Amino acid sequence: MNAAKRLLFFQRLAALDPHPVTELNYSTPFELLTAVLLSAQATDVGVNKATQRLFPVANTPNKILALGQEGLESYIATIGLFRSKAKHLLQTCHILIEQHGGEVPHSRAALEALPGVGRKTANVVLNIAFGEPTIAVDTHIFRLGNRTGLAPGKDVVAVEEKLLKVVPAEFRQHAHHWLILHGRYVCKARRPECWRCVVSDVCDYKSKEMTPPKGR
C-alpha cells in the first residue's frame, strides 16, 4: 500500500468514526488498566460484565487488595484465566501503592514492569489514559496490517513499528481504535466483509467475494 492509499485509508475510517473510543468501560486510569489486564483472551463484552459488578465495590488499588484473592476471583470468575489475572492484578496493586503512590504510572517502562502488563497493554493505557499516539497491536490489528498491506510484519512488534512509520501523523492518535474496530467488525478473520468496507478499493487484499452472501 503506497502513501496515497494510506492517506485515503485513514481519511475514510476517520470520516466514518471521527471520535473512536474503546469498548471497555472505565472512568479512571486504574479502571482502564484493570479492564485491559482482564481482557487478555476475553471479549470486551465479557470484561464489561465483570467490571460492572467489580468497580462499584473496588476500583482503586487499596480496595482491590482488600478483596483478597478469593474475593477478587468471585467478581471476575466469568472471565477466562481469572485466577492468574486476579493474582497479577493484586500484585500490580501492591506495586502501584508501594512505588507509584497508588497511581497508574505515565511511563512505558513502569507499566511494563507491572505483573501481567505487556507491550500491548502498556500501549493501550498510554494511548487512552494519557493521550499518547501509541498503537497497540492485537490479533485484529496484526491481521489487518498484513492482509491490507498497510503494515506487513512477522510479529506484533514488527507490525507496530511499521504502523508508527506509515500512519499519517494526523491520524496516529486514533489509529489503534480505527484499526481494531475495523478488524473486529468488517475485516474479520474468517471472511472479510469487503462488500461493505469503505477502504476496499485502496486495500491490497483482493477478495473473491465483493458482494454480500445471499440473505444479507
pLDDT, tens digit, for every residue of 165-178?
999 999 999 999 99
Angstrom CA distances, 17 to 89, 170, 171, 175, stand at: 33, 15, 12, 11
- Is position 120 annotated as part of the catalytic site? yes
Angstrom CA distances, 53 to 47, 71, 73, 118, 130, stand at: 10, 12, 12, 26, 25
Distance between first and last Cα of the chain: 30
d(CA 65, CA 61): 6
Residue 108: band (very low, low, confident or very high) from pLDDT cuts 50, 70, 90: very high
> Global pTM?
0.86
Identify the active-site residue in 5, 44, 49, 138.
138
pLDDT digits (tens, 9 = 90+) for 2-43: 989 999 999 999 999 999 989 999 999 999 999 999 998 888
Overall average pLDDT of the 144-157 stretch: 94
pLDDT digits (tens, 9 = 90+) for 47-105: 999 999 999 999 999 999 999 999 999 999 999 899 999 999 999 999 999 999 999 99
- Is position 17 annotated as part of the catalytic site? no
For 105-141, letters b (16+ CB in 10 Å) and e give: beeeebbeebbbbebbbbbbbbbbbeeeebbbbbebb
Q: Would the pLDDT of 208 be above 50? A: no
- Domains parsed from the chain with CATH numbers: 3-19+135-202 (1.10.1670.10), 29-128 (1.10.340.30)
Identify the active-site residue in 49, 63, 120, 201.
120
CB 24 within 8 A of CB 37: no
Residue whose C-alpha cell is 497479577: 88
Residue 212: band (very low, low, confident or very high) from pLDDT cuts 50, 70, 90: low
Of residues 212 and 153, more confidence is placed in: 153
Q: Burial level of 215, CB count in 10 A (0-12/13-18/19+)?
A: exposed
Q: Is the dihedral of CA 117, 123, 124, 128 positive or negative?
A: positive
